[in-house]
Structure 1
Amino acid sequence: MQKTTLEQWRMFKAVVDAGGFNQAAAMVHKSQSSIHHAVSKLEQSLGVELFKVEGRKTLLTEAGRLMLRRGAFLLDEVTRIEAVAESLSVGVESELRIAVDGAFPQKVVFQVLEMVSALYPQVRFDIIDTVLSGANELLYGGNADISLSPMSMENSLNEEICVIDFVAVAHVDHPLHGLDRPLSYEDLRPYRQIIVRDSASTNKASAGWLGAEQRWTVSHIRASVELIEQGLGFAWLPLPSIEASLVSGRLKRLNLVEGARRRASFFLNYHDKDTLGPAAREFMGQLRLLTMDMPTAE
């Protein structure tokens, strides 16, 4: 028979998170005495002292730190179980929030959404444009159900969904093409580079060569493509976004000695498949099918 209760573990963690019994009482809207009682019962059941008082501070003991790690895992598991139960009881989700990195092929996403929407017309889809670590930040924060990102995540499920080529390009009339010889990074340095800003609010990442003396930073891949097509700089752009421009001759690949093409894995990220509804699972399944034979640069 269990000697402890989930409520006792919750009160223990609340004291740690709030920094004391008084603060925990205000945070969880319970009396200080009830929290003291729950923590005391937990200590008695476990046979260890969880807290020690030094001056006005309530601090974890060594045993308390160990129990906190175990208890936090227990509470996380309970939260997941409750989320699965809620998903099963609700059935088809009413909304699906998908954070998509701007370099991921929009055409593929829209094709998948059209197929899923035909099966689940009652589901509202919220597609959130992101850059670099922005998609995973939304997933971490509970503001997205699925992320399509060039970055994997810790403590979550990361499935490599495709590999995308980024190619160095400029407008066909850009002076770099006029050099008419293989180019080095030093040749690029005097010219303007267009880069895309990470959409995350914290822990921003940077990607690509940043050695140009002049840089313009934009918030989305589409803006970067437009600037390059207007002859206002050079950039490494995702091949799916510029295939038509390369075929038409508006853009031309830079003849770099090295680094002309870069490959990036893109990940389908989510926390727990069991908590996702049928529309989310259908989205992931169709996405896998459409990305299986995506073309890459030669």
Structure 2
Amino acid sequence: MNRAKSTLEQWRIIQSVVDFGGYAQAAEKLNKSQSSLNHAVAKLQNQLGIQLLEVKGRKAYLTQQGEVLLRRSRHLTQTVDELEQLASNLGQGWEPNLTIAREIIYPMQFLVDALKAFWPDSRGTRVTVIDSVITGTQELIDNNIADIAICGIPAKGHIAEFLCESDLYLVCSPTHPLTQCGIVADETELAQHLQVVIKDTATEKSVDTGWLKSEQRWTVSNFHEAKNVLQSGIGFCWAPAYLVEDDISQGKLARLILKGSKSRKIALTLVIPNRDNQGPASKLLESLILLQHDIDQNKP
């Protein structure tokens, strides 16, 4: 095995000399003697057989070769710094991984904004978001897969924090026969047409919920697939308002009003399945999700 000719400390020194504009300035910032920095850089250049710096007046400048190597060295030292920070975080109980179960009718933008705020302080934590449907979320909770769960139906045996309501619109293609009688449809008429539904993601004991009275059903995995089916002129579907409002305004989909039910409202809640063992990363991300809905855990 070949031994490295240089050390991380040498690269950090040369980075400091360049960043602070010279040996004297770097020595002051690093609390080292200027002669020790001169010696470290000279030794590095001798070991590599390449001149990295040249001094003009009182300032040190990178050579062309030095620019290339310094750029690569920054990636190296940053990676080591992150590795050491990660080790420290793990030692303090900071979770290396977090899994979020998201009921797919929960607007993803809320979660994206929370994760964006989480990123600067995430300390290398890897986040996995699992889209779940109906009892699939409960299954992820029961199987201890989810650290944070956003549920569309109440999670059995867990305290939940209300986040928001999701409006579900009844939609179909503008060319669908249901639109010919105006925007009003009744249950009897609706039941005679093909319904597009989203598959429950639970692997066991999945259940049907909502309005499912049509004998003819096509089941798909998500609402993006459902929209593709609808836009072909086939079927109707209950879909989250935030996913179909633009399609409705652009004339790609038509909204139907079912007598007695202008829209369906689903309460979305946040659950921490294992509150007693919740780690600091999970607590931070939970607070940031709640803030998306103007919920401050520190206020009564």
Which TM-score bucket, shorter chain as reference? 0.5 to 0.7
CA distance in 1, matches of 2:130, 2:175: 34
- 8 Å CA contact 2:147–2:274 kept in 1: the answer is no
Structure 2 length-normalised TM: 0.64
Match of 2:188 in 1: 186
Distance 1:191 1:281, change over 3 A: same
The residue correspondences of 1:276-291 to structure 2 (distance < 5 A) are 276-291=278-293
Q: CA deviation at 1:167?
A: 1.1
Match of 2:247 in 1: 245
Aligned AA (1:187): E
CA distance in 2, matches of 1:210, 1:181: 20
Across the two proteins, how many residue pairs are aligned to each other? 207
Q: Specify the SS of the correspondent of 1:255.
A: strand
Q: CA deviation at 1:139?
A: 1.5
Match of 1:296 in 2: none
CA distance in 2, matches of 1:95, 1:211: 41
Question: Residue by residue, what CA displacement relative to the aligned partner does 1:127-176 show, whole Å, maximum 9, x if unpaired?
Answer: 11111111121121111111111122233221121111111111222211
- 8 Å CA contact 2:100–2:149 kept in 1: the answer is yes
Corresponding residue to 2:257 among 252, 255, 258: 255
Match of 1:128 in 2: 130
Q: Which runs of 4+ in 1 moved over 3 A?
A: 87-90
Distance 1:231 1:291, change over 3 A: farther
Q: Specify the SS of the correspondent of 1:114.
A: helix
CA distance in 2, matches of 1:209, 1:180: 21
CA distance in 1, matches of 2:198, 2:213: 15
- 8 Å CA contact 1:157–1:272 kept in 2: the answer is no
- 8 Å CA contact 1:152–1:269 kept in 2: the answer is no
Match of 1:114 in 2: 116
Match of 1:235 in 2: 237
The residue correspondences of 1:46-61 to structure 2 (distance < 5 A) are none
Q: Which has the larger radius of gyration?
A: 2
Percent sequence identity over matched residues?
Answer: 28
Distance 1:208 1:157, change over 3 A: same
Corresponding residue to 2:93 among 91, 94, 98: 91
Match of 2:146 in 1: 144
Q: CA deviation at 1:255?
A: 2.9
CA distance in 2, matches of 1:207, 1:240: 20
Q: Is residue 2:228 matched to residue 1:226? A: yes
Q: CA deviation at 1:249?
A: 2.1
CA distance in 1, matches of 2:157, 2:187: 38
Match of 2:268 in 1: 266
Question: Residue by residue, what CA displacement relative to the aligned partner does 1:44-77 show, whole Å, maximum 9, x if unpaired?
Answer: xxxxxxxxxxxxxxxxxxxxxxxxxxxxxxxxxx
Q: CA deviation at 1:232?
A: 1.8
Match of 2:176 in 1: 174
Q: Is residue 2:163 matched to residue 1:161? A: yes
Q: Specify the SS of the correspondent of 2:131.
A: strand
Structure 1 length-normalised TM: 0.64
- 8 Å CA contact 1:101–1:132 kept in 2: the answer is yes
Question: Residue by residue, what CA displacement relative to the aligned partner does 1:254-279 show, whole Å, maximum 9, x if unpaired?
Answer: 03222231111111112343422222
Aligned AA (2:233): G
- 8 Å CA contact 1:194–1:217 kept in 2: the answer is yes
Q: Specify the SS of the correspondent of 2:248.
A: helix
Match of 2:201 in 1: 199
Q: CA deviation at 1:120?
A: 0.9
Q: CA deviation at 1:181?
A: 6.0
Distance 1:205 1:229, change over 3 A: same
RMSD over aligned Cα atoms: 2.1
CA distance in 1, matches of 2:234, 2:283: 42
CA distance in 1, matches of 2:190, 2:212: 10
CA distance in 1, matches of 2:202, 2:142: 11
- 8 Å CA contact 1:103–1:238 kept in 2: the answer is yes
- 8 Å CA contact 1:96–1:126 kept in 2: the answer is yes
Distance 1:90 1:229, change over 3 A: farther
- 8 Å CA contact 2:146–2:273 kept in 1: the answer is no
- 8 Å CA contact 2:103–2:133 kept in 1: the answer is yes
